[in-house]
Amino acid sequence: MAEQVRIIVCGFGRVGRSFARLLEAKAETLARDYGLEIQLHGVGELEGSVISPKGLAPAALADYFETHGGLGGHPEGGRPEWKGIDLIREAGAGLLVETTPTDIRTGEPALTHIRTALGRGMHVVSANKGPFIRHYRTLQAFARDNGAALRLSAAAAAALPTLDVAQTCLAGAEILAIEGVLNGTSNYILTEMRKSGRSYGEALSEAQRLGIAETDPTLDVEGHDTANKLALIANVCMGADLLPEQVGRTGISGLTAEEVHAAGEEGRIFRLVGRAERGPDGAVRARVAPMGLPRDHPLAAVDGAEKGITYTTDTMGRVTVVGGKSDPKGAAAALLKDILNIHRAPGAARSGRYS
């Protein structure tokens, strides 16, 4: 008999709804291969929430939200006056999935959601970078003090397993440097400029037509998203204390088709690279900028909207991971992976309010 795991979701945007649909699509696999029945008991949103002690049909709930634009009027426990924090306090769930929009400077409302959930002994998985860039170590310590687990794979490049590789596969090694192609939109544009000869503006328009780039692509193409992810990964994996505003940053909007073509003639491939490195004084410094990588560099092969990360270590040499979907489904899959890994950890199923 499958073990029941009661969860709630705060934030029902594209990632939250993708997670709900993935949860339903994978239900048989989760029961058969992992012995789990993950039950969705509530979803919290700013304009109303829904809670049901008997559980909710995840995909149908996503459809309802898209049709009605909210959850407060849902016939199976709609609470028009409730926000996510009310759901965390009242739902009696064992795990919070946090997918609210990111506020990099304040971390809110996710920071309050996560602190409240951890304080109640709930496990947390998050796709939200905001709370962890400035508060990672204090939140992890708070989680340990309350017998809860905190995972944030989806916040650090979605489906690309950046943190998993560093924390598990490279355990015992010191990470000396990180290089990452961490933004799929920018990488797609640079790939198009190189392969088709398009200008930056033409490649951006094509990315927007395909839904790869936002209408306002500033966060992606000017390097903000890469800087945010790099700071988070460096803080988690290198023990750094970087803030995004301390990461030097140059975007790709100033690159010309002629520069990209000339680099190719010289055997170099432009990528928007985030690099963090520990200096002789022990401090970690970081920068994001377009770089003409030699063709034999492992990140030179990261084409299209894919991402990649290279860790340079003291004992394991250089290790690179490439791929991972750069879309809401990839982030949803990372959230599900974190739930499964929490469950598989020794003693997890017995802890707190998890089951």
Q: Classify 58 as helix, strand or coil.
A: helix
User: Residues 41, 45, 48, CA angle at the centre, nearest 5°?
Assistant: 90
Cβ count near 170 (within 10 Å) = 17
Strands 268-278 and 284-294: antiparallel
Indicate which residue of 129, 195, 229, 307 is catalytic. 229
**Catalytic annotation on 229?**
yes
| Phi, psi values for residue 325, rounded to 5° | -70, 130
Type and span of the H or E element at 51: strand 49-56
Closest CA to 334 of 57, 99, 168: 99
User: Residues 287, 291, 294, CA angle at the centre, nearest 5°?
Assistant: 130
Are 352 and 147 within 8 A, CB to CB?
yes
Cβ count near 246 (within 10 Å) = 14
Q: How far apart are CA 276 and CA 262, in angstroms?
A: 27
Report CA Rg, the chain: 21
| Distance (Å) of CA 39 to CA 6, 28, 70, 72, 345 | 5, 13, 21, 20, 20
Please list the active-site residues. 229
